[in-house]
Amino acid sequence: MSFMRERAHDALTTETMRRRHLRRVLEIEERVHPRPWTHRTFTSEITKMREGTRFYLVAYVGDDLVGYGGMIFVGDDAHITNVAVDPQWQGRGVATEIMLDLSMLARDRGCSAMTLEVRHTNSAAQNLYRQFGFAPAGVRKRYYENIEDAIVMWCHGIDSPEFAERIRAIEARRP
């Protein structure tokens, strides 16, 4: 499965993550995560995309790679594994665009629900996920770095007309 849009100068676009993106992906990963994924981890995830069990994308503004995200497919659920945006680009709609694309792909693949973990201290990410219909469902104690708790969030009914309308409303609000 391949996913790519044309890039216009200053336009926010996404495309399927490839190995050629990893240098920049790892730079962002190291800037935003205390225990970043390794090159080996990302390479393994990209390889698994061929099996259809994973999907990762990168976000560009013009020719600058500014973020990325991914998910695992398990039955009719999609698990968001990673959403990260370069700190210089946070708060400008990049994560929203990544989540829109991941949500639409999960829906197109026939998933009925999505799940993710988010740091209990990351209120900006929690607010973003709530816009998409995610709701807290539990806590994973000491999930991050064996120190910080994660909130487990679920979004059910992504195959419903109501979710499609929610996505259209989010799309309509973007610049």
Q: What are phi and psi of 81, to 5 degrees?
A: -95, -30
User: At CB < 8 A and 24+ separation, what contacts does 142-147 make?
Assistant: 143/117, 144/34, 144/35, 144/119, 145/34, 145/35
pLDDT band at 2 (very low <50, low <70, confident <90, very high): very low
Q: How much is the pTM?
A: 0.91
Going from N- to C-terminal start, the domains of the chain cover 12-173
Average pLDDT of the residues in 74-96: 96
Could you read off the pLDDT of 43-83 as tens digits, one per residue? 999 999 999 999 999 999 999 999 999 999 999 999 999 99
Q: Which fold has domain 12-173?
A: Aminopeptidase (3.40.630)
Alpha carbons 116 and 72: distance in angstroms, whole number? 10
Q: Are 73 and 55 in contact (CB under 8 A)?
A: yes
Alpha helices (H) along the chain: 22-32, 39-49, 94-108, 123-131, 161-173
Known catalytic residues?
117, 129
Q: What is the pLDDT of residues 15-35, one digit of tens each?
A: 999 999 999 999 999 999 999
**Residue 7 identity:** R
